[in-house]
Structures are given as structure tokens and as C-alpha cells.
Amino acid sequence: MAIYNEKPSLPYYATIFTSKLLQNDVVYSVLLEKMIDLASTQEGFLGVEYAKEDIQILISYWKDLESIKRWKEHTFHDRVQNMSKELWYEAYDVKIVKVEREYGFTNTDNDLFKKRFPRIETNRGVLRVLEEQHAPLLHQYVNENKEFFEPWEPLRHENYYTLETAELRIKEVRKEFIRDIGLALCLLNKEETEILAYSNYSSIVRGVSQCCYLGYSISKKHQGQGLMKETLEEGIKYVNEVMAIDRIMASYMPRNTRSAAVLEGLKFETEGVARNYLKIAGKWEDHILTALVLR
């Protein structure tokens, strides 16, 4: 639903921006959020809504055509548009329409919506999909463990470590769960004041495959205590029993003995070696391919 600065009176105007991206990375997503924040401060702005699929749709609402014209001519808007043409857009299309009639429905049962997202109590923590109020915890997690994670992750842009990106990541993982394409489960302490470990079941494929890929990490100060295994045991149980995923694939670099031990303890079986499989810390790395088959 659109979030209005003020309840609009009819008629008003909408700018429909439809785009197809060459790449959809974190930098683009952060820039889009900044654009929306800036637009919301402009005279005549009413609200915005957007959907991110293969074809992205961004609709902004305005009091009148003059407000749209001023926003189009805004210096920052113009600069970002030109940058996006060079770096991100394969194609885009803009339509301006007049809204003369509207109606809708809102479900006010917030508890029903929250119950859609898993929240699992484990022996030593709470395994759950993060909510937006958890963004400072995710921000703290990635920054406290930056040097610890760097040898095992792709190179990260400095924007990755901002609070804004943490907020954006949480919005994205919640959308992915609703769309049934991914599930990110974080293990928090019992008080839910700290993230202990992170697991991500991504690229869910339905139909004849019923599979996904698994990635995971644990805070440096909590490693060696069995918390990663606790996180994955409960997460795999949920993914298998509730989401009906019965093939989970994971990979690790040969020198990552801790990761190998975790997967072995969960009964993942080695299926092969992929040469130059992923670019980690700026270098193409071989990976051991494993899978847990629960069929």
C-alpha cells in the first residue's frame, strides 16, 4: 500500500516508473531509498509504492502536475537518473496519469500478519526472521564481525555497513519469505538484544526440485559453543517440515575447516568440487559442494 504524507483528495496525479535493471545491487537499492526519502520532502508529494520483480514498478503520487515537474527538474533527481542510465538500467518507461477514483481494503489484524513469520525458541536463543526494529542489531552484527567475516565473503561496498543497508536487508528478506523464494533466520539471545548467528536459505525452487541453498555465519565471540549447529538444526527442521524443502545445498572453501565440521555434523554429504566457484575477498575460490537430502 502507498504511505501518504497526507490523505489525498481527488483528483491527484501519479507518476508510474517501470524499469528493467542490468543488475540490482545493494548500492542501487540504497540510492532508491534515498530518492524516495528526498521526494517525500518535496512540496506536493503525497506518497509512494513500489514492487521489485524482474520488472520494477515505482509509483509516486502528487497533488498536481507542477509538483511532478519540479521533482523531475530537481538537481539530485537528474543526477541519479543519469547515473542509473550508465550503471543499472537496461530500459525504463514513465507514465503520468490522473487519479479520479480510488477504493481499497486494509486488514487490521496485525497479529495474523506477524504469525506468518517463523519465531522458534531454541535451547539458548530465539530463531526468527528479523523485523525492522532489529536493524540496529544487524548493523552491529556486521560491523563487529567485519574483519572476522572478510576472508569468507565477497568484497563489500562501504554502504553495506550502514544502518540504512541493514534496514533495507531486513525489508528484502521479509519480502523474499512472503514470495516463497528465501528464508533468513537469525539466532538472537533470549532477550532479543543481540544477534548470535545468521542463516540464509536462498534460491528456493519448487516443483520437481524442492531445494534451496544454505549460507550461514556466526559472531566471532560466540563461535566454538555449538550455536551454529543449534541455529541450523532448528532452521533445517522448519524448512523441511513446514516449507517442504527436502534438498538443502551448501558449499565451503577447502580451508574452512570449521564450516566443514558444522556441515558434517548435520549429515551433509560431499557431492563434488567446483573450481573457481565463487569470488571471495576478491579472488576466485574452489568450493566443496555438499547437500543434505531428506527425501
Q: Does residue 24 have a pLDDT over 90?
A: no
Which residue bears the cell 548467528?
Answer: 197
Tell me the mean pLDDT in the region 48-61.
Answer: 87
Q: All 3 cell numbers of residue 295?
A: 527425501
Domains of the chain: 3-99 (3.30.70.100), 114-293 (3.40.630.30)
* Rg for the chain, CA atoms, rounded: 22
Cβ-based neighbours of 295, under 8 Å, separated by 6 or more: 246, 247
pTM: 0.72
Cβ-based neighbours of 172, under 8 Å, separated by 6 or more: 29
Q: How far apart are CA 203 and CA 24, in angstroms?
A: 16
Across the chain, what does the average pLDDT equal?
92
CA atoms in the 13 A half-sphere facing the CB of 62: 24
Q: Which residue has the higher pLDDT, 171 or 54?
A: 171
Do 39 and 70 touch, CB atoms closer than 8 A? Answer: no
Q: Give rounded-to-5 percent helix, strand, coil for the chain.
A: 35, 35, 30
| Predicted pLDDT at 250 | 98
Q: Which residue has the higher pLDDT, 18 or 115?
A: 18
Res. 109 pLDDT band, cuts 50 70 90:
low
Cβ-based neighbours of 108, under 8 Å, separated by 6 or more: none
